[in-house]
């Protein structure tokens, strides 16, 4: 199960070694050429040098995580986040720490010990610590060192109505979509990029685009979704089960309208549900890719993901499958009809 394998792999922003190796093993049988770049992005080529529209398909493999920055006298670990994490969600969650993937719990003072006014205030980062069970600094230093990384320890499970929960669907679901697409036959020169460091500022994608120089780019994301009761349509960003979400405008990109319309048209022809991403907040690798060199026509297609950047994230498996179907149909149409914009 590729979703389980990918989402449970370790790979905080800038430290993608484990997830990169997991993806590498998955893609090796289907790739014509695989390599990494200076930042560690994994680049997989299919039909390099073939005639036809060269398309870059990108998904970031990094996830939000934490770095151990200090070890206290009492063996507790101070940490800081890599990427945007809301400190309020951290308390009483479980993480895996360091090369050995030790379990750790994020603790805080028990409610019995809190003053009444403390209970209404969210906990700040400097009040939180990771407890790996070490009695003192010496014991902790035998297990971890400063600079070690941690990620949430959530396991993949399917539940409810075609739902799956795990950590890091943002953006391992995009990585899974790319892997499934890679397995499909095509004559197009395709480049699949599993980029690094999206969560700390869209760092990996620009150098990849500069290297690849594609005619078109599609970024596949797990994007923000808040379709819970009482939220008006424009405030929920996306809705689960309503299909892949097309980006319109976000913090780093004004979407390419013609390419978006082309993708929407293909969805219509193939009767694949699609929706628009209805918020301007956030950004994805399109922000870096579309401004590379002389500009690259790009689109963002996302699987709606509830509770992104939190320990337990939810996707709808129909959306996941429809995202694969949609991009597959888009590629098929370009394979037959050529570059859709000129």
Partner 1 sequence: MQNDKALLSQLTESVGGSGDEGEPRKILMDKVRNLVDEVSVDYLGNVIMRKNGEGLGRHPRIMLAAHLDEITLIVKKIGDGGFLRIAQVGGFDPRTLLGQEVTVFGREHLYGIIGSKPPHLSTLEERKKSVPLDELFVDLGMAEAKVRELVRVGDRLTIRRKTMELAGDRMSGKSMDNRASVTALAICLEQLKKLRFQPDVYAVATTQEEIGAFGAETAGFRLQPDLAIAIDVCHGEMPGVEADLAKKLGDGPVITFGPRIHPKLYKKLLDTAKKARIPFQIEVSQGPTWTDADNLQVVQMGIPTALISIPLRYMHTSVETLEFSDVKNAGLLLAHFIANLNSDFVEELTWYLKN
Partner 2 sequence: MKELIQSFAKIPGPAGSEAEIARAIRTKIESVADEVYTDVLGNLYAIKKPQSNSSAITKTVLISAHMDEPGVSVVDIDEDGFLRIAPLGHLKPSELIGQRVQFARTKIAGVIAADGDVARDKVEFPNLFIDIAVRSKEDAHKLVQIGDAAAFDYEFQEITPRVLLSHALDNRVSCAVAVDLLEKIQLSFQLVVVFSTQQQVGSRGIQVAGYRINPDLAMVLGATPAGDTPKSKNIQVKMGGGVAIKAQDAAMVVAPALRDYLIQLAESDQIPAQIEVASTARSDASAIQVSRSGVPTCGLSVPMRYLDSPSQMVHMDDVENMRKLLEAWLRSDKLFTHFTY
Cβ nearer to partner 2, comparing 146 with 249: 249
Residue 321's Cβ-count burial label (10 Å; 0-12, 13-18, 19+) is middle
Subset of residues 29 to 68 that bind partner 1, contact rule: CB under 8 A:
34-40, 42, 67-68
Work out the angle between the directed axes of helices 169-183 and 17-27 (0-180°, nearest 10). 20
Stretch that binds partner 1, among 98-106, 169-177, 203-211, 257-265 (CB under 8 A): 203-211
Cβ nearer to partner 2, comparing 152 with 259: 259
Stretch that binds partner 1, among 88-96, 110-118, 202-210, 277-285 (CB under 8 A): 202-210
- Is 226 a binding residue for partner 1 by CB under 8 A? The answer is no
**Of 91, 105, 162, 210, which one interacts with partner 1 (CB under 8 A)?**
210
Q: Would you call 293 a catalytic residue per the annotation?
A: no
**Of 12, 244, 255, 300, which one interacts with partner 2 (CB under 8 A)?**
255
Q: What are phi and psi of 81, to 5 degrees?
A: -75, 150
- Is 329 a binding residue for partner 1 by CB under 8 A? The answer is no
**Of 11, 207, 287, 340, which one interacts with partner 1 (CB under 8 A)?**
207
Residue 189 near residue 49 (C-beta atoms within 8 A): yes
Question: What SS3 class is residue 157?
Answer: strand
Stretch that binds partner 1, among 18-26, 100-108, 230-238, 279-287 (CB under 8 A): 18-26
**Of 22, 82, 217, 299, which one interacts with partner 1 (CB under 8 A)?**
82
**Of 29, 293, 336, 342, which one interacts with partner 2 (CB under 8 A)?**
293
Strand (E) or helix (H) holding 324: helix 317-337
Helices (H) and strands (E) in the chain, counts: 8, 17
- Is 294 a binding residue for partner 2 by CB under 8 A? The answer is yes
Closest CA to 242 of 180, 331, 323, 160: 323
- Is 229 a binding residue for partner 2 by CB under 8 A? The answer is no
| Structure tokens, 242 | 């309503």
Which residues have CB under 8 Å from 337's CB, separation 6+?
A: none
CA distance 187 to 48: 10
Q: Which residues are catalytic?
A: 198
């Amino acid at each position: 199960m590729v979703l389980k394998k990918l989402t449970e792999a370790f790979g905080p922003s800038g430290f993608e070694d484990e997830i990169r190796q997991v993806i590498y093993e998955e893609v090796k049988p289907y790739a014509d050429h695989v390599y990494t770049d200076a930042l560690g992005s994994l680049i997989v080529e299919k039909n390099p040098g073939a005639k036809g529209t060269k398309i870059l398909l990108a998904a970031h493999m990094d996830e939000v995580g934490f770095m151990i920055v200090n070890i206290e006298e009492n063996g507790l670990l101070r940490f800081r986040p890599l990427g945007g994490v809301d400190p309020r969600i951290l308390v009483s969650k479980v993480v895996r720490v360091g090369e050995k993937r030790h379990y750790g719990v994020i603790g805080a003072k028990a409610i019995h010990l809190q003053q009444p006014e403390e209970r209404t205030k969210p906990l700040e980062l400097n009040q939180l610590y990771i407890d790996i069970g070490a009695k003192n600094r010496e014991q902790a230093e035998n297990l971890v060192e400063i600079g070690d990384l941690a990620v949430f320890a959530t396991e993949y499970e399917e539940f409810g109505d075609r739902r799956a929960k795990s950590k890091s669907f943002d953006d391992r679901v995009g990585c899974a979509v790319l892997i499934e697409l890679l397995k499909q036959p095509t004559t197009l020169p395709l480049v699949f990029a599993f980029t690094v460091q999206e969560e700390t500022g869209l760092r990996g994608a620009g150098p990849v685009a500069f290297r690849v120089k594609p005619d078109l780019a599609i970024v596949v994301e797990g994007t923000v979704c808040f379709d819970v009761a009482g939220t008006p349509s424009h405030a929920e960003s996306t809705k689960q089960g309503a299909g892949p979400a097309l980006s319109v405008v976000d913090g780093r990109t004004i979407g390419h309208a013609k390419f978006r319309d082309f993708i929407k048209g293909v969805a219509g022809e193939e009767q694949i549900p699609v929706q628009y991403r209805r918020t301007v907040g956030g950004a994805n690798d399109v922000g870096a890719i579309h401004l590379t060199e002389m500009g690259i026509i790009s689109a963002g297609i996302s699987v709606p993901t509830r509770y992104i950047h939190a320990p337990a994230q939810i996707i709808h498996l129909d959306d996941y499958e429809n995202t694969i179907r949609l991009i597959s149909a888009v590629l098929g149409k370009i394979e037959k009809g050529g570059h859709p914009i000129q």
